[in-house]
Amino acid sequence: MNPTAKPLSNGHCRVCSAKIAPFMSFGRMPIANGFLRPDETGNEYFFELAPAFCESCGMFQLLEQPQPEKMFHEQYAFYSSTSRYMQAHFEVFALSVINTVLAERKDPFVVELGSNDGIMLRHFKARGVRHLGIEPSANVAEVARTQGISTISAFFDHKLADGIAAEHGRADAILAANVMCHIPDLPGVAAGVQRLLKPDGVFIFEDPYLGDMIAKTSYDQIYDEHVFIFSANSVRCAFEPFALELIDVMPQITHGGSMRYTLAPKGSRQVSIKVNEQLAKEAALGLDRAETYHRFKANCENSRDALMRTLERLRGQEKRVVGYGATSKSTTVINYCGMTPEHVEFISDTTPIKQGRLSPGAHIPVKPYGEFTKRYPDYALLFAWNHAAEIREKEAGFVSAGGRWIVYVPEVAIVA
């Protein structure tokens, strides 16, 4: 194991400090967004990707996570605005905050944690709402700044929270999308949110949802950046010590099944009936029981074996298979399953920073989208399965030319 990897302090839960142990390992894993130049393959960084479930507070988490600076920096490869559907999603999210939480407030102030290229804040900016994005990855933060979106490049903690409150005042709304599950010091962030939020403010965030991951065996949500996979139960427990109460939950179809959580200073707002309903659903799904995770492990192994059987069969038939979307998620799938460039000729991706590079670990070449359309493969392995609706619509030509999709969530299948 690399000595700079950050181990969990003696196998204790990152939230409640109870003793925990991994229930499985996905093995040696590289940085999920660590796309390499061909001359960089020599000193690639690896860590052990091993999730654990805390029976005490219900938090699903990684035992070991690389240092944040290894993942989020001035070469961060994920730009939120690459999906048209996600652009629309964040516009709706922003408008719902503007029309409910902020309605009739005088000069409200909105803070977004992990604002990436400004995909959500641009809607606040366009309406003249005071806002501040906090984005540690300098390259994506710069994209936002060039659009006039106020953004600072930093990691959020309670010290930064105090500095922001001193300079701008406290926030009416703090927002975060696909970022809370990335931050290992969740109690530190909760403390920062508690200090930065107005007494009548709200904290709204969304992340991939544990219930969906378990139900669909979408184990590819587990990678270095996702140190937590949340449930309503674990979120409620994590924020309770900071007098932040879970007052609402709202399932989202994004990223293969997400949950939006709304929290508010304890006692400041009514708790929606949906919170208790969701907690009951989670209990019925067995999300609070260790045996659920043993079953999940077996499901992951079955999924891996079925996918590799399919790829080996196609390789035997000399079919061309190309990956579609060099997602973070695909790093887990490719390396856990043991795929090589022999199975997947290249991965097509529209993000310029990923093109011409090699996928982390397995070193499958990433090529521009034009390479996919220029000469359709026999099969496209849908790594960006969470964008299936958008992609299948765009790629009707591939299917009419005889191309077929290989999918693996919720089950391995070949589809038209």
Of 61, 115, 278, 328, the one binding ligand JHZ (CB under 6 A) is 328
User: Rounded to the nearest whole angstrom, what is the least distance from the CB of residue 136 to ligand JHZ in the complex?
Assistant: 12
> Segment contacting ligand JHZ (CB under 6 A): 10-18, 233-241, 327-335, 406-414?
327-335
How many Å apart are CA 411 and CA 416, to the nearest integer?
15
User: Rounded to the nearest whole angstrom, what is the least distance from the CB of residue 298 to ligand JHZ in the complex?
Assistant: 24
Exposed e or buried b per residue across 357-390, where buried means at least 16 C-beta atoms within 10 angstroms of its C-beta = bbbbbbbbbbbbeebbeeebbebbbbbbbbbbee
The option from Zn ion, ligand JHZ, none interacting with 57 (CB < 5 to 8 A, set by class) reads Zn ion
Name the nearest CA neighbour of 184 among 225, 214, 146, 147: 225
Of 5, 6, 16, 363, the one binding Zn ion (CB under 5 A) is 16
**Residues 137 and 158 sit within 8 Å (Cβ to Cβ):** no
Q: Does 335 bind ligand JHZ (CB under 6 A)?
A: no
What does the per-residue mask of binding to ligand JHZ show for 135-174, with x meaning CB under 6 A? Answer: ----------------------------------------
How many Å apart are CA 216 and CA 308, to the nearest integer?
18
What does the per-residue mask of binding to Zn ion show for 21-60, with x meaning CB under 5 A? Answer: ---------------------------------x-xx-x-
For ligand JHZ, the closer of residues 127 and 394 by Cβ is 394
Of 14, 255, 260, 367, the one binding ligand JHZ (CB under 6 A) is 255
How many Å apart are CA 147 and CA 150, to the nearest integer?
9
Cβ within 8 Å of residue 88, ≥6 positions away: none
The option from ligand JHZ, Zn ion, none interacting with 44 (CB < 5 to 8 A, set by class) reads none
Map the footprint of ligand JHZ across residues 216-235, applying CB under 6 A.
225
Of 23, 351, 376, 399, the one binding ligand JHZ (CB under 6 A) is 351
User: Rounded to the nearest whole angstrom, what is the least distance from the CB of residue 14 to Zn ion in the complex?
Assistant: 7
Q: Contacts with Zn ion: how many residues (CB under 5 A)?
A: 8
Tell me the residue length of the chain. Answer: 416
What does the per-residue mask of binding to ligand JHZ show for 55-94, with x meaning CB under 6 A? Answer: -----------------------x---xx-----------
Question: Strand 258-265 relative to strand 197-208: parallel, antiparallel, unpaired?
Answer: antiparallel
With both helix axes pointing from N to C terminus, report the angle between 158-168 and 186-196 in degrees, rounded to the nearest 10: 20
The option from Zn ion, ligand JHZ, none interacting with 255 (CB < 5 to 8 A, set by class) reads ligand JHZ
Reduced to 3 states, what is the DSSP secondary structure of residue 335? helix
User: Rounded to the nearest whole angstrom, what is the least distance from the CB of residue 243 to ligand JHZ in the complex?
Assistant: 28
- Find how far residue 308's CA is from the centre of its chain: 25
Reduced to 3 states, what is the DSSP secondary structure of residue 2? coil
Map the footprint of Zn ion across residues 50-109, applying CB under 5 A.
54, 56-57, 59
Name the nearest CA neighbour of 277 among 236, 248, 304: 248
> Segment contacting ligand JHZ (CB under 6 A): 117-125, 159-167, 344-352, 404-412?
344-352
Name the nearest CA neighbour of 136 among 71, 187, 221: 71
Of 98, 390, 392, 410, the one binding ligand JHZ (CB under 6 A) is 390
CA-to-CA dists, residue 408 to 58, 205, 221, 303, angstroms: 27, 28, 13, 7
Of 131, 216, 236, 329, the one binding ligand JHZ (CB under 6 A) is 329
Name the nearest CA neighbour of 318 among 394, 231, 400, 378: 378
Going by the DSSP 8-state scheme, the letter that residue 209 receives in this structure is B
The residue type at 210? L
Site for Zn ion, rule CB under 5 A: 13, 15-16, 18, 54, 56-57, 59
Site for ligand JHZ, rule CB under 6 A: 78, 82-83, 178, 225, 255, 325-329, 349-351, 369, 384, 386-387, 390-391, 394
